[in-house]
Chains A and B, each alone.
Chain A
């Protein structure tokens, strides 16, 4: 059996095909080889998560330090329990606070962490207690409208009294 030029072309074809699949997985789907032993999980309970989704980024000072791995409703407290899987190289203190923020006005929502001052750090499976919920635009507008009309009517009665 001799090697022929057809073998070369087919070899090239298969090699380019494999390269294309690798490109699609690494560059397009951003597959980071992050196995379970490189991350640890923390929990955080929120009153309202707004539009937060699984796989949303977790950021500290704008740097992505992990991803949201699961979201479920705690059926005792009726709060949303968000699991954060964080990179092992980052430690967070016990009084770290978590809030749900929005990138831009209508952008995707992410979890923002704010490091506290406690020297003890959170271990795998522990909970972040200081949380603040997502800003829901409708509620915000509703609050603004009621305070706006309320303030206006107070002013008009004050002027009527004068």
Chain B
């Protein structure tokens, strides 16, 4: 009877302690990455290779989703704005929602599922097949050789992808608003230009995407490095990467938005 009462309690305690343990480990892991980045950035071709796999190969999905998100914003925005007789503000609406929120957040969500999960699976499998241990035996630091290049590749790629997402989204809004619905192109752009501020909107959006890039890539490489070295462990780590990154992106977005705007 007592055992039945205590076992959920014990499980709760175990989960909590485990979560705090992992939080401490991920912080130490981030410092280890930063400490060994010097070594790995000296061999920059490793990072270039990872930018190719994480960034360049994500371009298609980011560009296509950006276009569709922009077109949906154009349609929905036009429907609502025309009800209040201010369809002219469509350009400003599309640009502001993309630059401030949708661009950084959606690009980060796409990036975490397209590239983050791949990073986790790759590092997790390297661990499962004992390649990381083999590197340590050969006096090659696995954090400098494997983890840091992937981390920097993610941090560099993320703002670029978010900027591409924004440009494609604005182009999608232009396609719907000007080409399809027939708003005046001059009004569309001038409303956008008079309402978008370089510092408040463009730069803050890029800072957001940089923060998301750090968070998503850190989670991805950490989950891979921390994965249980079995087939099931790697698959669980990959799932955790996608779920945790999505939650962290949205939570960080809330905090950053509260600070910035």
Q: Residues of A at under 8 Å CB distance from B?
A: 1, 6-7, 9-10, 12-14, 16-17, 20-21, 23-25, 27-31, 55, 57, 108
Tell me the number of A-to-B contacts counted with CB atoms below 8 Å.
70
Measured between beta carbons, the chain B residues less than 8 angstroms from A31 are 198
Q: What is the bound-complex CA distance between A1 and B99, given in angstroms? A: 39
Closest to A21 in B: B163
Measured between beta carbons, the chain A residues less than 8 angstroms from B166 are 20, 24
Closest to A17 in B: B160
Interface residue B177 (Cβ < 8 Å from any Cβ of A): no
Measured between beta carbons, the chain B residues less than 8 angstroms from A10 are 48, 51-52, 55-56
Q: Pick the contact of B170 from A6, A28, A57 — CB < 8 Å?
A: A28
Interface size bracket, B side: 20 to 34
Q: How far is the CB of B1 from chain A (nearest CB, A)?
A: 63
Measured between beta carbons, the chain B residues less than 8 angstroms from A12 are 56
Q: Pick the contact of B193 from A7, A17, A20, A30 — CB < 8 Å?
A: A30
Measured between beta carbons, the chain B residues less than 8 angstroms from A25 are 198, 202
Closest to A2 in B: B45
Q: What 0/1 readout, one digit per residue, does chain B (41-62) give for beta carbons within 8 Å of chain A?
A: 0000100110110011001000
Q: What is the bound-complex CA distance between A72 and B95, given in angstroms? A: 30
Q: Pick the contact of A30 from B51, B55, B164, B194 — CB < 8 Å?
A: B194
Measured between beta carbons, the chain B residues less than 8 angstroms from A27 are 189, 193
Inter-chain contact B99/A28, CB cutoff 8 Å: yes
Q: Pick the contact of A14 from B160, B170, B193 — CB < 8 Å?
A: B160
A sample of 23 cross-chain residue pairs with beta-carbon separation below 8 angstroms, ordered by A number, consists of A7-B48, A10-B55, A13-B51, A13-B55, A13-B56, A14-B160, A16-B59, A17-B159, A17-B160, A17-B163, A20-B166, A20-B167, A21-B159, A21-B202, A24-B166, A24-B167, A24-B202, A28-B99, A28-B170, A28-B196, A29-B197, A29-B201, A30-B193
Interface hub of A10, A21, A24, A28 (most chain B Cβ within 10 A):
A28
Q: What is the bound-complex CA distance between A147 and B77, given in angstroms? A: 42
Closest to B45 in A: A1
Known: A9-B52, A30-B193, A30-B194. 11 other contacts (CB 8 A): A1-B45, A6-B48, A16-B160, A20-B160, A21-B202, A24-B167, A24-B202, A25-B198, A31-B198, A57-B194, A108-B194
Closest to A15 in B: B160
Interface residue B147 (Cβ < 8 Å from any Cβ of A): no
Closest to A6 in B: B52
Measured between beta carbons, the chain B residues less than 8 angstroms from A57 are 194
Measured between beta carbons, the chain A residues less than 8 angstroms from B194 are 30, 57, 108
Q: How far is the CB of A35 from chain B (nearest CB, A)?
A: 14
Q: Given A21-B206, A25-B198, A28-B170, are A16 and B52 neighbors across the interface (CB < 8 Å)?
A: no
Closest to A14 in B: B160
